[in-house]
Copies of this chain bind each other. A is one copy, B any other.
Amino acid sequence: MTVVRPSGRAPDQLRPVRIERGFTRHAEGSVLVSFGDTRVLCTASIDNKVPAFLRGKGEGWVTAEYGMLPRSTHTRSDREAARGKQGGRTLEIQRLIGRTLRACIDRGALGERTITLDCDVLQADGGTRTAAITGAYVALVDAVRWLQGRGEIKRDPVFGAVAAVSVGVYRGVPVLDLDYAEDSDCDTDMNVVMNDGGGFIELQGTAEGHAFRRDELDALLALAETGIGQLLELQRQALAG
């Protein structure tokens, strides 16, 4: 089996991943994450309010918004602000990011405040949602440290870590971390979010060409596990830096 990936990577090889903290200066957490040519700016903003359904319960909230700059893509897409609404794909992705980050937050320990993760894609080359989750986790930790640095929270509300990667069957071969060239010519595609305890947070698999068999699913999950292990390590290094 000698499929050559367009990028020349081995089937189980991530793209070069970079996590730069402090990319902009106003946000409490600000991370530029790159998975190869995919670059996403993830900022974490703290607001001392919570949504109406949580008011007075002593719990915090973590939520996310996602956007692509109009020319982050090969051909220019309409600006959602100009069209007057966010598309279904955008809403789906930002709901996913918010859900996965809430999975590693103790909302009681956070207290009545909201952390909003804005994930804006500066350049897209496949895998923007998995890069966004991986980077937003680091921005979230930075925002929490900011709160701790000012003595505003006592216990660390972040438990564990989360990272995400895509996997797919490209020309019959299961591969890790699809780039755009692979993604657009791929039969099956799955986004996997895991935590550092080896548990699954989200699993979203779609058969684009034909349905995938159980053995393919197993191979994809194994690849994802490998990749996420490396991403969690990169997050640790970035946060230690």
Q: Are B65 and A79 in contact (CB under 8 A)?
A: yes
Asked if residues B123 and A26 are in contact (CB atoms below 8 Å), the reply is: yes
> Is A229 an interface residue when CB atoms closer than 8 A count as contact?
no
Q: With A25-B37, A120-B69, A214-B221 in contact, do A204 and B207 touch (Cβ < 8 Å)? A: no
The interface bits of chain A over 85-101 (1 if a CB of B lies within 8 angstroms of the residue's CB, else 0) are 11111111011000100
Contact yes or no, A195 B211, CB < 8 A: yes
Given the complex, which residues of B lie within 8 Å of A67, measured CB to CB? 79, 81
Kindly report how many copies of this chain are found in the complex they form together.
6
Give the size range of A's interface with the partner: 35 or more
**Contact (Cβ within 8 A) A217 B205:** no
> Is residue A230 contacting chain B, with contact meaning CB distance below 8 A?
no
Complex Cα distance A33/B232, Å?
A: 33
- Per the 8 Å Cβ criterion, residues 179-197 of A in contact with B are 190, 194-195, 197
3 closest pairs, A vs B, by CB? A199-B211, A88-B91, A80-B81
